[in-house]
Amino acid sequence: MKQVYSLIPNFYDAKQQFDYQKTKKLLEHNLKNGQNKFYLKTAAYNFLKLNYKQQQKFYFQLLNLMPAKADVLIETDFSSLATIQTIIEELNLFPKQFKLVIRLSSLDKINLKSNLEAYLLDLAYLNKNCRSDFYINLDSRLLNLIDSQKLIEKSLAFNNLQGFLIDPVSFYDLDLKKFKLLKGKYKNQFEFLVLADDFYYLNLDLGVKTISKYFNLLPSFFKDLALKFSNNSLELAKKQQLALNEFMQFVQNLEETEAFKYLLAKILDFEPISSLSETEKLNLEAEFNKINEYIVDKV
């Protein structure tokens, strides 16, 4: 899948330790479905409880599981330049290829402020010291409030910066017109990614890649939607996106993490550990069967 990265969730065993064997199963499932692009999102892990050595072990364990030719993006948070230096030094030791997606404190998504001078200092350090190419994570509300064109133009000086990942906080807060203008203006300099399954059709239309959680559950559905788009069956593709959004909303109306992990366990054939009630499980499985039958119904 050229336009999709699979977001790899974390698995825990009964002792609440990382269960890398389940992660390995999920990677194999993706590979069987033609997917070799993977996104490791640190916000999905309880990273605050890990010291630097534990973080290093976690990264290395996951990277060791990756197929030889995998295209891997690792998202990580840096609260200060000192934190950046520590993590970068550790990751530079790892022999496999990967790229970083970096949340910088100089782009403060909490207060929605941008410190351009500090941001450029962070980029200068990363450009000089990071062995891998990297992307910068931009909160979509921040993108709407700051002078994003000035920020991106200033970023052109750093040749290891590959582009920007846009992280929509909610479905309605991304200024698509502004984003499309930025994408069009800088497409030859930077790549743009969007972390949102509900924007998949729009991302195809904009020519940007999607970081997808739900591709893990519905690979055939995503591939079929992309095929409809490439064949210019745009109305069918839009309707399919709406069906995907309805399914995701159903999952989110339950306890999303529990529901998502339950379905993954069913797919990967290991015993699900879930707090969902039996009725919730039955309803969830019915909706999952319904979305999987969508393609067949529309042929």
Q: What is the pLDDT along the chain (299 residues), one digit of tens a residue?
A: 789 999 998 887 777 778 889 999 999 999 999 999 999 876 444 545 566 667 677 778 888 899 888 999 988 877 666 667 777 777 787 777 899 998 887 777 666 567 788 889 889 989 998 888 999 988 887 877 788 888 889 999 999 999 999 888 765 566 777 888 888 899 889 999 999 999 999 999 988 999 999 999 999 999 999 999 999 999 999 999 999 999 999 999 998 888 999 999 999 998 877 889 999 999 999 999 999 988 755 54
Phi, psi of 273 (to 5 degrees): -105, 110
Rg of the chain taking only CA atoms, in angstroms: 19
- Classified by CATH at the fold level, domain 4-216 comes out as TIM Barrel (3.20.20)
Q: What are the sequence ranges of the domains in the chain?
A: 4-216, 218-299
- How far, in Å, CA of 214 to CA of 216, rounded? 5
From residue 114, give the alpha-carbon distance in Å to each of 146, 170, 175, 275. 7, 20, 18, 41
What is the predicted pLDDT for the residue at 107? 79
Assigned token pair, 157: 């000086």
Instruction: Give the closest residue to 246 by CA, choosing from 208, 279, 297, 294.
Output: 294
- How far, in Å, CA of 62 to CA of 102, rounded? 18
- How far, in Å, CA of 187 to CA of 189, rounded? 5
What is the predicted pLDDT for the residue at 44? 47
- How far, in Å, CA of 161 to CA of 153, rounded? 12
